[in-house]
Structure 1
Amino acid sequence: MLKKTGETAETVSEVVFRQIRQDIISGILPPGSKIRLEQARERYSISVSPLREILSRLTTENLVVAEGQKGFEVSPASRRELLELADLRVVLETHALDLAFTAGDLEWEASIVAAHHKLAAAERRLLAGDASRTIEWVRYDWEFHQAIVSACNSATLMATLSSVFDRFLRYHMLAESFRGKPVVEDHRALFDFALRRDAEQAKAVIRRHVHSGVEHILKSGIVA
């Protein structure tokens, strides 16, 4: 959020970068859609030159595709990418989990308890039919998974996992439906195993959780 006069162009660019990235992940900018520079310039209130730089940055995460002289478009959704992201997420998250379970302290445990409390509250509302809580749930879902692996002591691993998590999340947002009780049960099991530091059981939950998500997305028909 821009708060002070005289903030740098870099700060403005960072805000717009997050906005465009979030619009892609949430599906506001759908897969395969053209990003027309003049329209995007007006929409995000930024000049064309930094806008080009932002879109180029997003190509490094495979969220945007550069079309040479034609401009940019949102990366298409595909079954192949979905499966690749699922496999990569499992590898990264289970590795980070192993490291975190070894190094985690009492503060780490407290962060997991707090994150799960917020997530469980959002899930209860979703199960009760309050679909307006979906965006809130998305944020709390990541905060919970992040809390569990946060003690891995690797900024690079956390940043890479965050990027993969978001790209995988884009497919869930495109499927436009909450998976319901099985997700809640997975999160509760993961919470219990984390506090018990049972790495093998927790990793098994992660694998089931991610692969069930893939099956749900494929059943929705958003990718062939």
Structure 2
Amino acid sequence: MLSDAIDAFRDVFTPPFRGVLWKSLGLTLALLVVLFIGAEAALGFFVDLSIPYVETIIGIVAGLGLVVGLSFLIAPVASIFAGLFLDEVAEVVEETRFPGDPPGRAMPILQGVWMALKFTGVVIAVNLLVLLLLLLPGINIVAFFIANGYLLGREYFEFAARRFRSEAETKRLRKDNTGQIFVAGLIIAALMAVPILNLVTPLFAAAFMVRLHKRMPAPALASDRVRMMP
């Protein structure tokens, strides 16, 4: 598993992945700039104290507040756009690392958008949890990794598996490999905890989970389980 994680991290910075990386980061930056300009304009419209130095102080404080607020949004916003391109990442991994296997099926557009929103919701929950756990020294790090190991592992594994399996098969395979998926989720959570690198977490997680899914045995069918019973 560790070698798959290292290979997936290397893949993020290779030419086939760079296009997806730059698209997601470019769209993220563009949206944040628009939000910043809009917030500044709204502040200038609603705040008019007619006292120049007070307005200047408020403008500086508000500007710093906006920068801090937008920095909190970087990872969730990047996840929205990266989530839209995860199928491209999966296709590259499948074609280059598993060329002899049948290719997976790309998700329909609406399902892809829904998956991107789910990923974003998980990332937002992660960031909120981090903020809340700052108030609980001693258990914050442990709780952070346990919660996110489960959430991130589950979401990204289901993305990789659904390219090949039905929803029922995916859930059964996830239950049969809970421990392995949880450990993979811990690795993803560790990357997400690192500033700057958290921007590439969605792409890394997709490439990593495609590899992990490919190495798992197919889940036993219900009829097979009945025959195996004494």
TM-score by length of 1: 0.30
TM-score by length of 2: 0.30
Larger radius of gyration: 2
Q: Which has the higher helix share?
A: 2
